[in-house]
Structure 1
Amino acid sequence: MAIEVRPATVFADVKAMVGPKRPDANVCWCLSYRVPSKENLALKGTDRGDRVRELVAQDPPPGVVAYDGDEVVGWAGVHPRADTSFATNRRIPHVDDLDVWSVWCVRVRPGHRGEGISHRLLAGAVEFARHHGAPAIEGYPLDNEGAKIDLTMAYVGTRALFERAGFTKAADTDSVLNGFPRVLMRLDLR
């Protein structure tokens, strides 16, 4: 299997990973961390997909997509922290004043899990941030110490996933998801 990770510039491919089965459904679309909370709450139904279409057309786009040949198999949301809700999140600390990038979502399509795609996605997110001049990249995964995680909450990744990608713990957070604490993991790109 030759997984290729590319910038998320094709709306249909992003939609395949984060969009709903019904266009009018109010699902995340991976917007909850990418746009301000007030805007996220105001977007309903098809407006959510329309907003993602706008983000995909921007430079840089809102993340990276993994492909197995022509098949879309994964997504990672990654962007400058200043353009995400992490810029003002009181539960996730700022380690310093660097213009870091944040990776907040790593999703693998059902039927492709357990194939190492999340590792490829995280590596692709790191390269994407590096290519765009990021001095460092952060993630805010669960510190589950190997315990099983509900798959709907696994989108933030695990501390072990980030450690295998070379990230180190930079800080504790006040954020808890699915009963597990989230930690701030960081990788220097300079």
Structure 2
Amino acid sequence: MAIEITPADWAGFETVMGPKGGCGGCWCRLWRVARKEFEADKGDGNRDAMRALFDSGTVPGLLALDGTDPVGWISVAPRAEFPRLKASRILQPVDDLPVWSVSCFLVKPPYRRQGLSVHLLQAACTFAAERGAPAIEGYPIDGKEKYPPVYGWTGFAGAYRSAGFAEVARRSPTRPIMRKSLG
């Protein structure tokens, strides 16, 4: 499988999100706004807000392409762009380093369990490093339970380990904070 990973564009992002906008109308805005705003905007409001972000010239993530077909997405941006992370007692900042964060993945079903998440993480590291990030973090699922892929929207710890991330904190049995230095 020859997959190319590129900065996301709206059309490709919309294709990966599908008609329901990812997981139940989230449109990858869960960590970008307060819970009340997220819930109020679920569906069309989140789509429109994310579209406005793209229209502003911001690249909020990367797309995986199989030829010209968008098949995967990873959200990556400075951690400061995800205020809800700071509000989480489990995902609070580990230190004052201005890290970038990976907050979300979405991989189309036929492309799951083929290592695409690792390639997306590696591309996110390059993308963040090129923009001056000293390190990049993620907040994957890690536990003994077997989670269906749909619940892996923050990624799985094994993919992070394969991409060179190391655990730097764990405030929950199933949710480590994993980081990779880019310096």
Query: TM-score, length-normalised on structure 1?
Result: 0.87
Give the whole-Å Cα distance in 1 for the aligned partners of 2:47 and 2:79. Answer: 22
**The residue matched to 2:179 in structure 1 has which SS?**
strand
Give the whole-Å Cα distance in 1 for the aligned partners of 2:15 and 2:137. Answer: 25
Counterpart for residue 185 of structure 1: 178
**The residue matched to 1:12 in structure 2 has which SS?**
helix
Give the whole-Å Cα distance in 2 for the aligned partners of 1:59 and 1:87. Answer: 25
Matched letter for residue 74 of structure 2: A
* Unaligned 5+ runs, structure 2: none
Give the whole-Å Cα distance in 2 for the aligned partners of 1:41 and 1:106. Answer: 20
Q: Where does structure 1 differ by over 3 angstroms across 4 or more consecutive aligned residues?
A: none
Counterpart for residue 52 of structure 1: 50
Percent identity of the aligned residues? Answer: 41
Counterpart for residue 72 of structure 1: 70
Task: Tell me whether 1:30 sits opposite 2:28 in the alignment.
Answer: yes
Alignment of 1:133-152 (within 5 A): 133-145=132-144, 147-152=145-150
Give the whole-Å Cα distance in 2 for the aligned partners of 1:58 and 1:188. Answer: 29
Alignment of 1:1-190 (within 5 A): 1-8=1-8, 10-21=9-20, 27-84=25-82, 85-145=84-144, 147-174=145-172, 181-190=174-183
Displacement of 1:156 in angstroms is 1.2
Q: Is the 8 A contact 2:28 2:75 kept in 1?
A: yes
Give the whole-Å Cα distance in 2 for the aligned partners of 1:36 and 1:129. Answer: 24
Q: Is the 8 A contact 2:142 2:157 kept in 1?
A: yes
**The residue matched to 1:15 in structure 2 has which SS?**
helix
Q: Is the 8 A contact 1:141 1:183 kept in 2?
A: yes
Give the whole-Å Cα distance in 2 for the aligned partners of 1:68 and 1:136. Answer: 28
Query: TM-score, length-normalised on structure 2?
Result: 0.90
- The structure richer in helix per residue is 2
- Number of aligned positions between the proteins: 181
| RMSD (Å) for aligned C-alpha atoms | 2.0
Displacement of 1:90 in angstroms is 2.1
Displacement of 1:19 in angstroms is 4.0
**Residues 50 and 19 (structure 1), Cα distance of their counterparts in 2 relative to 1, 3 Å cut:** farther
* Unaligned 5+ runs, structure 1: 175-179
